[in-house]
Structure formats: C-alpha cells, structure tokens
Amino acid sequence: MELKKELKRIEKNDYVISKEVNIDELINAMLENIGSLDSELRDDLICSTFYVLIENNQISDECLKRIISRITDSNHIFYKINESDELAVFTRTFSILIVACALNRHRRSPIFNPHEIKEVYSNVLNYCKQEKDLRGYVEEYGWAHSVAHSADALNELAMCDEITKEDLMMILDIVKYKITDGTYTYIHKEDERLVTAVLSVIERGLITQKELINWINSYKNVSKVDDFMETYRTKLNSRNFLRSMYFRVMKHSNDPLLLDALLMSLDDI
C-alpha cells in the first residue's frame, strides 16, 4: 500500500473508506508511520484520518481497543523515551493524540471498562512524567508539541467519569510538573492547552475550592532552582500559565476566590 497516496484518496472522498480498502491493513500502516518525519503524512493525513474515523465511529470498539493497547506500548508513546534520539518524539507525541481521540469517543459512548480507563490513565501520566522533549514547532519536521498533545489527553481523562478525585489531583500535579520543568520556554500555546485540562478538572466538581487555591498558591514556590536560566524559564512559564488561567476562569466561572489566588500568585512570581 502506498500510504500517502491512499490517505489523500480517502481525504478527497470525505473519509469514506471504499470496500476495496482493507481497514486493518490501513490502520496498521498508519500506526507504523505515525512518527513519520514527513509532516504532511504524519499530521495532515495520518492524524486527521484517525481523528475522523474514530469520531465518526468508522472504527469498531474492539478495533479501537486494540489500537489503544498497541499505541500505549514501547513502540509508540514510550518509543525511545529515555534515549537521545531527537526524532523519536514525533512517534510519541502523535501517538498520545490518538489516545485523546479514543477517550473523547469513549466519553460519548463508553468503550472501555473502568479498569481499562485506569490503565490508559496510568500510561498517559507515566508518559507525561517521562517525556523530556518539550519542543513545540521543529524546523524542517513540523509540530512535535508533546506538552500540548499531552494536555489534550489529560483534558479528555479529566472528563471521564471513571477518573476519581485522587486521579484529578494527580492530573493537577502533572500540569504543574510540566509548567515548572524549567528546561524550555513554552511559546506555542502550551499553557492554553494545559489550562483547558485544568478547567475540565475543576468542572468535575470533586476538588474543593480550598484544594484548588492551595494548588494555585503552590506556584509561589517555583523559583527554588540553582540554575539562573532554569529559574527564569520556570517563572516565565508559570506566570504565562497563571495569566492564561486567570482569564479563562474569569470567563468560565468568574470565581472571585480563585481569581484572587491567581492574582496573588502572579504578583509573587
């Protein structure tokens, strides 16, 4: 199968898969090439095709389960995650986007049982903890965007009924972990995507206002790093994130106590 040519044909046909196409063979080819260095194939064709097929229920529940089982393995979201290969990130970060798509469909029409959702949750959080390549747009190869794509998966998880208060608190911890990493300055709206996940956590109504305020206040202590530039990046990312959250909370719920906490943390930083 000439994958790029086939996916362009499918796109031109409004993503209607003809009877001549072996769907299992197509999915297998897309998974094998999900980290392609050809940004058109990876981003515009493979990712978009997966999104539409999953969104429109053109992939069966059982098939989607098999995809998620495969895509959360060492050849996809954990592919070379502890190695110095700078090109491996594309496989990982576009794999995590497929997880987000699958979770979105699950929320509309349950596919996974609670144990399976917790397994996906565990894999997503482990990926977020381990991913060190934080680049957004990479010249020559296009979007890597691991933080933004991770935020999309965290956002979908936060809205799943199977995710408990304890799980939601862990999602908030992961968001702070990514914001306060300090090794990279986020310039491609990563903060906005992470704020979206936080708002979904808040919307579940399981975490108290006091717990949320304590979490916001914890950003006041983000500067305890020896390296000057790492401290600078940490504070810059934290300030941009809290500023984004302030305006989103103002529009979303206009909670005065949360807004005050955000302003105080911003002033402190």
What pLDDT shows up at residue 242?
A: 98
Length of the chain equals 269
Give the H/E segment covering residue 32.
helix 23-32
Q: What's the rounded Cα separation, in Å, for the pair 25 and 132?
A: 32
Q: Which residues sit opposite 138 in a β-bridge?
A: 142
Q: What's the rounded Cα separation, in Å, for the pair 213 and 210?
A: 5
Give the H/E segment covering residue 142.
strand 142-143
pLDDT tens digits for 79-91?
Answer: 999 999 999 999 9
pLDDT tens digits for 14-51?
Answer: 999 888 899 999 999 999 999 999 999 999 999 999 99
Q: What's the rounded Cα separation, in Å, for the pair 176 and 242?
A: 11
pLDDT tens digits for 142-172?
Answer: 999 999 999 999 999 999 999 999 999 999 9
**How confident is the model over 111-128, as a mean pLDDT?**
98
Largest CA distance in the chain: 62
What pLDDT shows up at residue 139?
A: 95
Q: What's the rounded Cα separation, in Å, for the pair 95 and 81?
A: 13
What pLDDT shows up at residue 225?
A: 65
**Three-state SS at 37:** coil
CB 65 within 8 A of CB 105: no
pLDDT tens digits for 48-82?
Answer: 999 999 999 999 999 999 999 999 999 999 999 99
pLDDT tens digits for 191-233?
Answer: 999 999 999 999 999 999 999 999 999 999 876 567 889 999 9
Q: What's the rounded Cα separation, in Å, for the pair 171 and 50?
A: 25
Angstrom distances, CA of residue 66 to CA of 50, 90, 128, 129, 261: 14, 21, 22, 24, 44
Q: What's the rounded Cα separation, in Å, for the pair 25 and 58?
A: 14
CB 5 within 8 A of CB 26: no
**Three-state SS at 138:** strand
CB 12 within 8 A of CB 46: no
Q: What is the mean pLDDT of the chain?
A: 96
Question: Does the pLDDT value for residue 182 go beyond 70?
Answer: yes
- Specify the residue for token string 């996974």: 112
Please list, residue by residue across 70-83, b when 16 or more beta carbons sit within 10 angstroms of its beta carbon and e when fewer do.
Answer: ebbeebbbbbbbee
Q: With cut-offs at 50, 70 and 90, classify the pLDDT of residue 181.
A: very high
